Chains A and B, each alone.
Chain A
Amino acid sequence: MYEILKAEMLAENIWLMDVKAPRVAGSCMPGQFVIIKIDEKGERVPLTICDYDRNAGTVTIVFQSVGASTARMSKLKKGDAFRDFVGPLGQPSELCKESINELKNKKILFVAGGVGTAPVYPQVKWLKENGINADVIVGAKTQSLLILEDEMKAVAGNLYITTDDGSYMRKGMVTEVIKDLVQNEGHKYDVCIAIGPMIMMKFVCLLTKELGLPTVVSLNPIMVDGTGMCGACRVTVDGVVKFACVDGPEFDGHKVDFDQAMKRQQLYKTEEGRAYLKKTEGDTHKGNCSNA
């Protein structure tokens, strides 16, 4: 069992937890993720590693309650425990593989959308610890959904916050901020790292392609095992099929087939998908059906 040492609501429906998992905390790097299973009957839920403390043996996760499993997770409190917590999975962020000197010569822009702010945070923090200030754009639907503002402020170079409805700071989508910074304010960036909803990453990539700004994205397809065994997480990058759990989750955003990835994400997820399931499965969903 993996004990929850801290459980905090960051914003409406967004939760932060510190979980005791010494093996993961001892070996993880920014960009990697874990898979959590609440109890015997739970799903395997992938979540990005948001922070870690090697000495305390803890890993921080931030998740949005969007469906059955994450809603169940949000009910857990300090002192409760997850049955399973496995990781670190996936490749560390490309940034961690470059030399610090190379990175120091680069202007890096992060673009975080919604709960994607959580996985961006450890990368910005890691850079800061290595003496590198990166600019960060954080987008949220509305002020009440903005998370980790103070934490991000402490580690980012320039921090630009925008809300879709203009309830806080700038108004508009993250793509508009990128345009502003690059086209109007004359900022020059060598690389952009965009993490957020698939649709946001798609439009960021369309824009940065036009701007000639290389962009890395972190994909979150459906997963089961997270170790390369099932192929549920396959995505097409540059015409080649990749398994996001072992080859990713980060990929060259200009080469990702987002439309396909978004379709695949719907497989079990949307209302449509569920209705489809009901329609096509009927009562046979229960395996042990008795129409024999």
Chain B
Amino acid sequence: MEIDVLKKVPISEQDPGVRAHNFDEVCLGYSKEEAVAEASRCLNCKNARCIQGCPVAIDIPAFIHQVSEGNFKEAYRILSDASSLPAVCGRVCPQENQCEGQCIRGIKGDPISIGKLERFVADWARENNIKPEPPKNKLDAKVAVIGSGPAGLTCAGELARMGYNVTIFEALHEPGGVLVYGIPEFRLPKSEVVAKEIDNVRALGVKIETNVIIGKSVTIDQLMEDEGFDAVFIGSGAGLPKFMGIPGEQANGVFSANEYLTRSNLMKAFDDEYDTPIRPGQKVAVVGGGNVAMDAARTALRLGADVTVVYRRSEAELPARVEEVHHAKEEGIKFNLLTNPTEILVDDNGWVRGMRCVKMELGEPDESGRRSPVVIEGSEFEMELDTVIMSLGTSPNPLISSTTKGLEVNKRKCIVAEEQYGKTSKEGVYAGGDAVTGAATVILAMGAGKAAARGIDEFLKNR
């Protein structure tokens, strides 16, 4: 295959006009030839900067080198050493800020498509039925893992590999956390990718008990005192949606992004075979600019709506991954930037009829370093709408912290856990992922799950 070393080997995607009407995956992935060609652009740096950009320090040049030689199995082994969900990370990591953002090739041309290569290798391994090895030695100690998102799955997988007896408790009826209820099918296929990753965790001997809400069905103290668990990992995420608190927000037709996405992804409301209803709307505004907002907007679009993203800062500050913003635009989603809603307008029957907004301009940078938006006087205007989806971020559910003796939380309700091993203020209890950091990323949650597994192992060995 002929390539230009300064350019990424292009990857095939569904045509925007077609994919705007279906829930199939947008990106179709590299073929073997394309993957080998892309991998051959890697300079195999001695002091590889990409590794420093990866929160779990995957040996990136090593795996890419194996891909360039066609040794996909070995490439997978290298990936698996550091990441337990490579098929997921390759698809959803914000690579432009991590590995690819550091890549030396990026100075003069395009960085190596590290994420796409990671995805290729993980998909290849799945298609060729390569599974992680179950542990040889079994240990007696029992560990409970709360939540089956990336943090919980990783922690459980790592502990099982060490030989521990691990049970995951999940509140919902399906395991996967945000990977099943939040991130849509067209970015992360559920039965092909997520379910297979969960099968791999089960193959290591991890038991998964769904429909158990820790703090309601049973408490952490009861798990440790009555059910014989020697240690606990909390990976319960940050699932509570925020609303703006503006007038009209209770009207019919105002949803949290979590509700909209849960109906579509977890409950599969987009499929007529399933009982759960969804009201997609015809003219939809999504308020917010993160990955969640992009996912809600692109889901509404696929359900047939005309969609506008309303965000109070400018394009440069959009917290969503660049690729998602680019895909959203290609698909025909409009952006009303530097715009902030002040009121939802409601008709006589209690349904949304529009939204009043003001225009903003960027002022001085705030403590986060982002320039904070200020209202432009007299800029008020109305948008005609029938649906508003609020995507303003989420915070951790206080259910666990409020029912567990001696578990410290900070004022944002995040569980306080020491960074290196996720140790909390309660002996034998570890925590990581969004429950500790607040809404963050899959790879950080995974990294925290892995670190906590090491912490728990130390704790149990030194008891």
Contacts and interface: CB of A to CB of B under 8 A. Distances in A.
Interface of A: 23-24, 26-27, 37, 41-44, 68-69, 83-89, 224-225, 227-232, 234, 236, 241, 246, 260, 263-264, 266-268, 277, 280-282, 284-292
A86 B275 contact: no
B140 interface: no
Given A84-B173, A284-B304, A44 B399 contact: no
Nearest to A34: B211
Nearest to B277: A268
B408 to A, nearest CB: 21
Contacts of A285: 272, 280, 303-304
B270 interface: yes
B304 A292 contact: no
7 contacts: A229-B240, A229-B258, A263-B252, A284-B305, A287-B270, A290-B21, A292-B17
A260 B250 CA distance: 8
B280 A292 contact: no
A234 B271 CA distance: 26
Interface string B175-193: 0000001000000000000
Contact of B250 (A68, A84, A236, A266): A236
A145 B4 CA distance: 77
Interface string B215-254: 0111000000000000000000001110101000110100
A281 B252 contact: no
B259 A232 contact: yes
Given A230-B241, A287-B303, A281 B217 contact: no
Contact of A228 (B240, B250, B262, B349): B240
B291 interface: no
A176 B41 CA distance: 83
B295 to A, nearest CB: 15
Nearest to A85: B211
Contact of A260 (B216, B264, B304, B350): B350
A86 B262 CA distance: 17
Interface string B371-385: 000000000000000
A230 B256 contact: yes
Contacts of A288: 21-23, 270-271
Nearest to B274: A41
Interface string B151-173: 00000000000000000000111
B66 to A, nearest CB: 38
Contacts, number: 144
A156 B459 CA distance: 54
A41 B272 CA distance: 10
Contacts of B249: 241
Contacts of A228: 239-240, 397, 399
Contacts of A231: 241, 243, 255-256, 258-259
A71 to B, nearest CB: 11
Contact of B216 (A43, A88, A280, A284): A88
A236 B210 CA distance: 31
B273 interface: yes
Contacts of A280: 279-282, 386
B262 A225 contact: yes
A54 to B, nearest CB: 13
Max chain A Cβ within 10 angstroms of own Cβ: one of B17, B264, B279, B281: B279
B105 interface: no
A280 B253 CA distance: 12
B28 interface: no
Given A89-B216, A229-B258, A230-B259, A266 B252 contact: yes
Contact of A264 (B181, B210, B250, B273): B250
Contact of A277 (B21, B216, B279): B279
A20 B21 CA distance: 43
A292 B20 contact: yes
Contacts of A286: 270-272
A227 B213 contact: yes
Contact of B172 (A24, A225, A291): A225
Contacts of A225: 171-172, 262
B21 A69 contact: no
B217 A292 contact: no
B282 A267 contact: no
A101 B20 CA distance: 64
B18 interface: yes
Contacts of B259: 224, 230-232
Contacts of B263: 224
Given A85-B211, A227-B172, A260-B250, 16 more contacts: A27-B218, A43-B267, A83-B173, A224-B267, A227-B399, A228-B399, A232-B259, A236-B250, A241-B250, A263-B350, A277-B279, A284-B304, A285-B304, A287-B264, A287-B271, A291-B21
B302 interface: yes
A260 B251 CA distance: 8
Nearest to B217: A23
B212 interface: yes
Contact of B276 (A24, A43, A246): A43
Contacts of A23: 212, 217-218
Max chain A Cβ within 10 angstroms of own Cβ: one of B172, B181, B249, B264: B172
Contact of B241 (A229, A264, A266): A229
A55 to B, nearest CB: 16
Contacts of B22: 287-288, 292
Contacts of B399: 227-228, 246
A229 B277 contact: no
A292 B259 CA distance: 27
A37 B276 CA distance: 11
A228 B305 CA distance: 27
Given A224-B263, A234-B250, A236-B250, A241 B243 contact: yes
B347 to A, nearest CB: 11
Given A224-B267, A280-B386, A267 B216 contact: no
A24 B303 contact: no
Contact of B252 (A37, A44, A264): A264
Nearest to A88: B216
A152 to B, nearest CB: 28
